[in-house]
Structure 1
């Protein structure tokens, strides 16, 4: 399977270790691309909700795939977020092509991209951390219930729904928070003369121009892998929001093609496997 080349891949808010994480879908996506630089923009491992009793194999496979990219020479930047804030004590750590940072500035075709998670703008995180953590647990429970409802809905032939999206879209305060978040990020980026400002944190994928009296900047948000299943890709001078659900049919076709090639055996191989299985049965019978 030929992988798509991407100069910069930005992923945030994976929330490994929670029920809401779509790790299997993320693995399928990561296996389809070949990034030169991978930016993990915060909340990759959810240390707030982490529980030893819940760490599926697919979550570990995400970690293994990322380490595999590092071994092949991909530059990996781990930008700390609020749910993995414990890693902030390791800021500056570097091992091979991995760097742990709080923020990042990349030069892309003569332009500067300022990348950070975005929780620094969240007043709730700064002044009422216990409330934010409680909200995180409630959000995780909502996602779990949502998955159950969608499982039943699928059996009856109905489409998927997102409780959290509906709540966000219906609450004026939530919409205002997103708009304020975007404007504040843009204002600071403009004052520092950045061309792009790239965030995560609010689980709202976006690319748009934002301006004020001092200038204009391109605001980008990578979304998440809990509700939206999105990332940001930069290639040949252009940014785009990648939507996994839109690419799902093509990814399934590639996966089936790969599996068919893997499982297509010659007559001699099939015969040899049958002999091996027969031999094992005979050995077990004589014991």
Structure 2
């Protein structure tokens, strides 16, 4: 059964991590085909350049890029905000080609609200003070994801349910060390110093919609989550923002025709992506 097309003013998604085993590209493709926003904001870590050395970019992931191009061609404004995992694209910051643009952050006035959208890695102390540790963690996460996928295949054969080994581990680390609280407070204080009413970010992969109060005041904070575990997006209709969890008509990832593994070399991968997005390249 085909899902109805929903008309939105703005949709914000982040942390898709295309080019990794963890990315649920087929779920995202179904979501993108189910919406008709005036503006789509890709809020960082959409393409995982940290993992490009593995030369892994399945056709299902490329189909997401092609769907984005189709949306651009239909007149939808697509704004790509760079994150830490796709920082390779920061060299194209402030690029604008028709309905497509690449920026570091985005400030909007929606109704009577000032909205600030950015990825959030700038407020992550590990990224800036111990980048090697962040990349080690990303590699370990990728390895655990691969093991998890293999385990789930075996479980399905014997009629078992899927397990998410990496989810419980990551959630425990974040909550016990109060990383999320510090991250959110730092963002809230920065937003309040700019007289922002609503701040939207990603980076943590933990979707949340809350009011945060600091000594500077109160601000609404939305984290749009990810497309690895939560399949969530921040959406706006007529000035009203909500955090939406996408649920397809099937819990299983749909099999798409011709979805065989596609492994180009690294430069070919860059060129394919930039060509699809119609961004000029010089290598």
Unaligned runs of 5+ in 2: 255-283
Shift of 1:164: 2.2
Q: Quote how far apart the aligned CAs of 1:93 are.
A: 0.7
Counterpart contact for 1:43–1:81, Cα < 8 Å = yes
Larger relative contact order (C-alpha < 8 A, sep ≥ 6)?
2
Cα deviation, 1:72-98, whole Å, max 9, x if unaligned, reads 111111101001111112111110011
Q: Is the 1:113–1:195 contact (alpha carbons within 8 Å) kept by the matching residues of 2?
A: yes
Structure 1 segments, 4+ long, off by >4 Å, are 172-175
| CA offsets 1:197-239 (integer angstroms, 9 cap, x no match) | 1111111001000012332111001111112222111112322
Tell me the TM-score normalized by structure 2.
Answer: 0.83
Residue 95 of structure 2: which of 93, 96, 112 is its match? 93
Please identify which structure carries the higher helix content.
Answer: 1
Q: 2:39 aligns with which of 37, 49, 63?
A: 37
Match of 2:59 among 53, 57, 67: 57
Of 139, 150, 156 in structure 1, the residue corresponding to residue 141 of structure 2 is 139
- Equivalent residue number for residue 183 of structure 1: 185
Separation in 1 of the partners of 2:175 and 2:54?
35
Find the counterpart in structure 2 of residue 249 from structure 1: 249
Match of 1:232, SS state, is: strand
TM-score relative to the length of structure 1: 0.82
SS in 2 for 1:137: helix
Match of 1:79 in 2: 81
Which of these two proteins has the greater Rg computed from alpha carbons? 1
CA RMSD of aligned residues (A): 2.0
Determine whether 1:234 maps to 2:207: no
In structure 2, C-alpha distance between the alignment counterparts of 1:174 and 1:76, rounded to whole Å: 37
